[in-house]
Amino acid sequence: MKTHTYSCSRTCTHTNLGKQATANARESLEWGTKIIGGVTPGREGEHLGLPVLPNVRKAMEVLKPDATGIYVAAHQATGAIEEAIEAEVPLIVAVAEHIPLHDMLRIHSILKTQSTCRLVGANSPGIISAVGKCRIGFQPLPCFEPGRIGIVARSGTLSYETAASTLRSGLGQSMCIGVGGDILPGTSIREGLQILVEDNDTEGIALIGEIGGDAELEAADWIREYRAKTTNPKPIAALIGGVKAVPGRIMGHAGAFALPGEPSALDKIEALKGVGAAIVNHPSRFGPVLKSMLSGSTPTGAGVATSGGISQRREMHTIARRPVSARLVLPKGVNSQKRTLYITQSAAFDLLRRHGVSIAEKANPGAQKLLAVTVNRSTRSPCVIASPSSDASEAAKFDFAYGASGNPDVSVAALAEHMRLDASSADSLGQAISALVAVFAEKEAFLLETRVVPNNNGDRTTIELAAARFGFDDAAFRSCGRQADAQGLRDAVAEDPAEVGVVEKDGIVYIKLEDGDIGTLVNGAGLAMNTVDALADAGGRAANFLDTGGKATSETVKRSFEVILTDPRVKCIFVNIFGGLTRGDMIADGIVMAFRDLRMSVPVVVRIRGTNEKEGQRIIAESGLPLFAFDDFDEAAAKAIELAKEGLHL
């Protein structure tokens, strides 16, 4: 493991491993990022002509960096983050995906004990200052040039296309903060906004959020306060992915799903629109919209929505805090996601019986109350969620300290009162909570959702469980080899073979959608969510969500086509690729090869943007195959919708 130390306007560090990371460091150096050294455990010497030290603490003493970028794989990343915290590196940027949730809970419990270090990530593309020529991350450099727009984003691919849009509009970027798609990111969207409004080079802001958590609602609260106290507030435009997300599914990113009581994507859109942010439905619109806002004009046109002024919509944020309750019944195939593992209700009941919890044989649905153990994304802590009914909109959160293995520091009396339970139920309720917390810790769960019913026995009330929905963090097994026994509880019967077959092994996330006829193939979870949403706005119906995993190679394209074509509803395939980390011409070659190898009979519409986009479009156009190449999203979407309606087979 190597840690390369960078210097931007200040100095920064970055943890690397292998040839790819060295190439990244060399590229960053050539761009202008100042790298002042690195770390290889137990060794000293040189790398890329820079000093290499044996540990981060010595690097801090000798090189005095201000930030570290951690590039190691998930199973090493937790230790690297902890080492950076112990060395008191001020800024820690973690790019690794699939760090186990409970490892991140431990990291956040450590961060809460100090005030020196800030964490960005995990599962983040990093931070880049186009003005300061500093990159701590893996952002595609051709998309970034010094300019006026600050970007704060949960999605890497959406942030790249947003950067490209600002370039096309002649605006460029000041800074891009990738908070990342993790369940518990170290830096929030609200904190990113604060940084950007205080940055003198930033004149306008692009905010990119998505389904999952309350971060965008908290950002809306912050924007309201900022606009109220600022004479000339910086214009803010926003995009939220996941309007068409499947309830109960993880849409590519680890954190892209809604826990009980969390808002929908539409709730977030209304909240942001209500505090004066212009809403766009596609990242290519950010440049024109922000250019219009900076000139003092109200942005208009397809795919753009505004409130008409903050004073008209102050009530919208309150409305948005009343989400529809998440369903307890799992959609078919919900346990196929690589970050989650759901088990059958009977298996969940067996786990609880081992902890002495009573299970109701029969229960009146109207008497059931919500009781769950999960994470509070706002406080980055584990918590108990309780509601006096089965409706999550009435739920309250009760945080407890990480490390509790069955005796959480929550007030059972307060829980009972909120659930409108008799005071005599405290002992039984406490036992149920202790059992849930014990399973949460032992099995590394992300959600243990139950329905409880009170059982009156004369002078006292006991609690019985009537339903259970248990989800465990599959990353603990896949990244670190823990929780192997939990894999045996996987409910294979409920899984769709197309969603978990070869594509899951290849890192491709494929989810079938209802009532669609256009297959989608996209590189990046945020861009894939947005593609489904934007197609719907254009009048189309996506048959699936498919994220190739950030890079679209000829092999992943071929695998993706294969799985999409297992769905007989698909009349056309829409390939929407942003060539950031992978060049557009390489992607185009892969599409042509896959089309020929598979002898496809379904027409394919290809939109390639980003690095080498013109060459990629030329390869598609001159292939002699029924492939339709476009630069503009709206034109590509219109063609895909037209072909799907015609239902042509080649």
Return the active site residues: 253
Here the tokens at position 105 are: 């809970």
Q: Tell me how crowded residue 9 is: count the other CB atoms within 10 A of its CB.
A: 12
Q: How far is 391 from 371, CA to CA, in rounded Å?
A: 11
Q: How far is 517 from 248, CA to CA, in rounded Å?
A: 22
What φ, ψ does residue 432 adopt, rounded to 5°?
A: -65, -40
To the nearest 10 degrees (0 to 180), the angle between helices 74-86 and 101-111 is 10
Q: How far is 191 from 37, CA to CA, in rounded Å?
A: 29
Here the tokens at position 45 are: 């010497």
- Residues 52, 56, 58, 59, CA torsion sign: positive
Q: How many residues comprise the chain? A: 650
Here the tokens at position 525 are: 């979870």
Residue 450 burial (CB < 10 Å; 0-12/13-18/19+)? buried
Distances (CA, A) of 491 to 153, 351, 443, 451: 34, 15, 16, 21
Q: How far is 444 from 479, CA to CA, in rounded Å?
A: 13
Task: Give residues with Cβ within 8 angstroms of 62, minimum separation 6.
Answer: 37, 51, 53
What φ, ψ does residue 448 adopt, rounded to 5°?
A: -120, 95
What φ, ψ does residue 219 adopt, rounded to 5°?
A: -65, -40
Q: Cβ(389)–Cβ(370) under 8 Å?
A: yes
Q: Cβ(609)–Cβ(638) under 8 Å?
A: no
State the Cα torsion 584-587-588-591 to the nearest 10°: -160
Q: How far is 560 from 502, CA to CA, in rounded Å?
A: 10
In the numeric block, the tokens 């059931």 are attached to 368
The secondary element (H helix, E strand) that includes residue 535 is: helix 525-537
Report the phi/psi class of residue 214: left, alpha or beta, with left for phi > 0 and alpha for psi in -120 to 50: alpha
How far does CA 107 lie from the centroid of its chain?
18
**Alpha helices, H only, 538-602:** 554-564, 584-598
Q: How far is 125 from 505, CA to CA, in rounded Å?
A: 23
The secondary element (H helix, E strand) that includes residue 547 is: strand 544-547
Q: Cβ(538)–Cβ(269) under 8 Å?
A: no
Distances (CA, A) of 616 to 580, 587, 595: 13, 7, 15
Q: Is 88 helix (H, G, I), strand (E, B) or coil?
A: coil
- Residues 549, 553, 556, 560, CA torsion sign: positive
Closest by Cα among 284, 239, 244, 158 to 541: 244
Q: Tell me how crowded residue 439 is: count the other CB atoms within 10 A of its CB.
A: 22
Here the tokens at position 409 are: 């520091």
Burial 75-96 (b: 16+ CB within 10 A, else e): bbbbebbbbbbebebbbbbbbb
